[in-house]
């Protein structure tokens, strides 16, 4: 196909807004199913699913989750026929669909991840991948569209449909490339990891580790920071409000550092927080005033300190090891071992979960050898 070929001006897709239609459309699904979603995050913790797009053979469908109760339709179809779900960068899509498909699809093919294994770089967009494989240049016109409005415009329907039109061609191209490169097993392992991460909707038990500003705080202060962060996460989920509407990270750091002892001082440090109403302020004030016991300190993982000069030297050596190996494998270094994971390894000396599987065989001995003896 010639480069920069225009996409079709129209793309037929069935509009599905009742359960009977959905069940009938899914009844003959087997083999490969192209899938995408549109969702919105508006003043909520949880993303709201606004549209599901399917492509199977020459058929396409736009499913309206605002008009019908999908319930177990997708789970039943996936369990009965286990098609290969082809999606592009699906982590957020799987997350928003998790209530409808616990654990994710039985089989997943992430085209963005496949592109990385095929030497096309990390984070390749769907538009770029469509153009690379088919020569078609897609428009970005509806990227920031309001997908919760009804009815959708013709432009929105076309944009949404085109998101699944080219997935089969991309899959076929990249799968051949993965097989030629002998990377299919590695890719499938990473797709399984992606599914596991998306299906794990639990609360991070150690959220304080992400706030490096508290690395030099005392153990009891770090435990208090963990307590407040866990409260924010639980409360945001309960209220279905964005975390920053309750407390921003900087405010949490200030609250733990200053420990206000009355509502007036607490209010002064949290002005403008839309979801922090009187009941939440009372809970928060009690959390901040309550003492930290030994059990809570013991349960709190220490916040990793910034790397010192020796740690930076080790990080540089590890990055070079990864870069050299990645170059020999024609893989992006960030796919092999991201910098953040290397920093975690240096700080904890524990082999990161992210590097389990095929990466262990390639990297374990050479990276662990970079760590000094205890």
Encoding tokens for residue 68? 């019908």
Q: For the whole model, what pTM was predicted?
A: 0.92
Judging by beta carbons within 10 Å of its beta carbon (0-12, 13-18, 19+), is residue 199 exposed, middle or buried? Answer: middle
Q: How many C-beta atoms surround the C-beta of residue 92 within 10 A?
A: 13
Least confident of 133-137, 201-205, 256-260: 201-205
pLDDT digits (tens, 9 = 90+) for 83-123: 999 999 999 999 999 999 988 999 999 999 999 999 999 99
pLDDT digits (tens, 9 = 90+) for 277-297: 999 999 999 999 999 999 999
Q: Are 71 and 133 in contact (CB under 8 A)?
A: no
CATH class of 207-298: mainly alpha
Q: What percent of the chain has pLDDT over 70?
A: 97
Instruction: Give the CATH architecture of domain 14-199.
Output: 2-Layer Sandwich (3.30)
Q: In terms of C-beta distances under 8 Å and separation of at least 24 residues, what long-range contacts does 108-112 make, across chains too?
A: 108/84, 108/191, 108/192, 108/194, 108/195, 109/84, 109/85, 109/171, 109/175, 109/191, 110/190, 110/191, 110/194, 111/86, 111/87, 111/167, 111/170, 111/171, 111/174, 112/88
pLDDT band at 5 (very low <50, low <70, confident <90, very high): confident
């Amino acid at each position: 196909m010639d480069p920069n070929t225009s996409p079709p001006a129209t793309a037929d897709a069935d509009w599905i807004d009742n359960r009977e239609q959905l069940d009938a459309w899914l009844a003959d699904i087997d083999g490969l199913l192209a899938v995408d979603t549109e969702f919105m995050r508006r003043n909520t913790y949880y993303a709201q699913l606004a549209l599901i797009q399917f492509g199977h053979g020459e058929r396409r469908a736009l499913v309206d989750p605002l008009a019908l109760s999908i319930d177990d339709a997708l789970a039943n179809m996936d369990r009965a026929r286990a098609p290969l779900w082809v999606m592009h960068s699906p982590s957020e899509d799987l997350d928003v669909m998790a209530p409808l498909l616990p654990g994710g699809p039985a089989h997943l093919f992430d085209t963005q991840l496949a592109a990385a294994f095929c030497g096309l770089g990390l984070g390749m967009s769907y538009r770029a991948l469509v153009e690379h494989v088919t020569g078609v240049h897609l428009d970005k016109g509806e990227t920031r569209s309001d997908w919760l409005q009804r009815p959708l415009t013709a432009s929105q329907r076309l944009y949404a449909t085109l998101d699944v039109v080219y997935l089969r061609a991309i899959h076929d191209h990249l799968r051949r490339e993965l097989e030629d490169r002998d990377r299919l097993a590695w890719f499938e392992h990473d797709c399984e990891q992606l599914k596991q991460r998306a299906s794990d909707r639990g609360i991070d038990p150690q959220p304080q580790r992400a706030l490096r500003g508290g690395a030099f705080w005392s153990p009891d202060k770090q435990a208090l920071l963990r307590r407040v962060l866990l409260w924010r996460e639980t409360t945001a989920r309960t209220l279905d409000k964005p975390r920053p509407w309750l407390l921003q990270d900087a405010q949490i750091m200030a609250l733990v550092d200053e420990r206000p002892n009355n509502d007036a001082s607490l209010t002064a440090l949290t002005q403008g927080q839309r979801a922090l109403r009187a009941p939440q302020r009372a809970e928060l004030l009690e959390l901040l005033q309550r003492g930290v016991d030994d059990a809570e300190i013991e349960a709190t993982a220490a916040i990793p300190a910034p790397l010192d000069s020796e740690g930076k030297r080790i990080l540089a050596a590890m990055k070079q090891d990864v870069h050299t190996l990645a170059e020999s494998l024609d893989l992006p270094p960030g796919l092999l071992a991201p910098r953040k994971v290397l920093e975690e390894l240096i700080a904890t000396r524990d082999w990161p979960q992210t590097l389990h599987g095929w990466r262990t065989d390639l990297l374990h001995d050479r990276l662990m050898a970079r760590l000094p003896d205890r």
